[in-house]
Structure 1
């Protein structure tokens, strides 16, 4: 067999699998199925998220009683000026949201990290402990508020009972006293947030290359040095996600304080003020919408930062 014949045969052998790997054209049925799979989620997203968001932005520049569309009147920036200058609960709510963020970042998140590190040691019954600590995450914040009401109840609550003040004049009204109720609510929120952070960090710890720990041990590093200088930096993607989640959790905090006292008497939060102005007898649609837009803009900052980092990392790779 000549060399040219061998070359042709080899080329044909290579070309044949290439032809076999040719992408199959989509049929009319495939296009319909793909169209439905794209259109249905998009329609749901538009209906439940984007259209209400655009309407809220528009309503924030109007005055409206929420009943008759004919009564909608343009207000310009008046609602925003009112919120910033003449709405008494607004700045206390901003302070409480900042306090919520600091408390989750300084107390709840490190607690979740500590639980993750302890449970990553393969201690006996670690799966049971994981389930116990993660259980609050599966509960709604409203239900958590109800559970902690039983714990903090002034007359029959477990905490006052343990302090020996239940049923006496010295009993602390943990949810009714404006000087302490924000701290009581924060501990209730920590109970849930710590379990969420624990699961994320456990996943991050499982993904760390064991050779990094071995190399640190060979260099003479102890367990604490290995964690803070090797393991923790290696979990940078998880750390970024947890930072974003912590910020968003502090902004969307609503259920607990609304269950306790509808976000009043020392428990003012921006999210609670939004509902107070959009629902009920004293509703002020324009003010409530302005508050919702302010909350949206603040929330977009960490989300945009996270997405920018994610896409930049993907582009660099």
Structure 2
């Protein structure tokens, strides 16, 4: 017997179109509209008030040659991404694996590790000041050291990355923990029957099944590394060794000397870098799925 085709009433169509229409308008107006506007403004010289002057690629040439904070910010963003991707994210996965074993008081450990996630990076920045300040910081008071953790350009970026990583670990942990709970226990049992130890079973059986979760974690890690702003701004307004691309965008667009075109060029570079990481990884992921 042929299945009946459901017919939508005029009311259903109206609700569907209205719902999708609002979502599309909001997305275009708040995301893609400003993005395309930034791309266009990056080729202009405009202070937000006077006439817009088209200057082509001059902003990008100035960034590469006559704007020293740019390369310092690129370096710090790369370090930030490397630290989150190679240190904080694996540690979050490690914590998720331990908690997945149903340890005693695992709920307490899970809550303690997840607690920093509910804090904004600005609040984490204020906490970092309380811990690492050279004048009233807890670390210097307890250890007896006299190190300017946040003022020394040689160490402050590492200190701030540790503070940001503290929050990132809990975020990654809860995502991987949800993924591990969804893994079929029969896979682990089959690996144990074949003689695999826990380490071999995880890396050869469990971890490959977490591929969709890995995509989510990668995207989150890249976004967190490139959008980092509030923590360094709360500490010293992103200066004296804590320059980041997001800070330079803000300083040039809404700073004292408003250079919207120049700030938009930095924003476009930030967009291209983030899309480059995400698109490359996703294309490799989908290619691997097609080859299966």
Query: The TM-score by the shorter chain falls in which range?
Result: over 0.9
2:25 is aligned with 1:37: no
Per the TM alignment, residue 306 of structure 1 is displaced from its structure 2 partner at its CA by 5.0
Segments of 5+ residues of structure 1 without an aligned counterpart are 1-13, 166-170
**2:280 and 2:118 mapped to 1: Cα distance?**
28
For these two proteins, the number of residue pairs brought into alignment is 292
Match of 2:257 in 1: 282
TM-score (norm 1): 0.86
Secondary structure in structure 2 of the residue aligned to 1:227: helix
Per the TM alignment, residue 22 of structure 1 is displaced from its structure 2 partner at its CA by 3.4
Per the TM alignment, residue 316 of structure 1 is displaced from its structure 2 partner at its CA by 8.2
2:180 is aligned with 1:232: no
TM-score (norm 2): 0.93
The alpha-carbon distance between structure 1 residues 110 and 312, as it changes in their structure 2 partners (threshold 3 A), is closer
**1:65 and 1:234 mapped to 2: Cα distance?**
51
**2:5 and 2:44 mapped to 1: Cα distance?**
58
Match of 2:41 in 1: 59
Segments of 5+ residues of structure 2 without an aligned counterpart are none
Tell me the C-alpha RMSD between the 2 structures.
2.0
Per the TM alignment, residue 63 of structure 1 is displaced from its structure 2 partner at its CA by 0.7
Q: Show CA shifts across 1:173-209 (max 9, x none).
A: 2111111110110000110111111111111211222
**2:101 and 2:196 mapped to 1: Cα distance?**
18
Per the TM alignment, residue 158 of structure 1 is displaced from its structure 2 partner at its CA by 1.1
**2:290 and 2:154 mapped to 1: Cα distance?**
50
Find the structure with the greater CA-based Rg: 1
**2:264 and 2:143 mapped to 1: Cα distance?**
44
Match of 1:164 among 144, 151, 170: 144
**2:176 and 2:16 mapped to 1: Cα distance?**
36
Q: Is the 8 A contact 1:244 1:306 kept in 2?
A: no
Match of 1:175 in 2: 150
**2:19 and 2:92 mapped to 1: Cα distance?**
38
Match of 1:11 in 2: none
Match of 1:78 in 2: 58
**1:109 and 1:30 mapped to 2: Cα distance?**
44
**1:86 and 1:103 mapped to 2: Cα distance?**
28
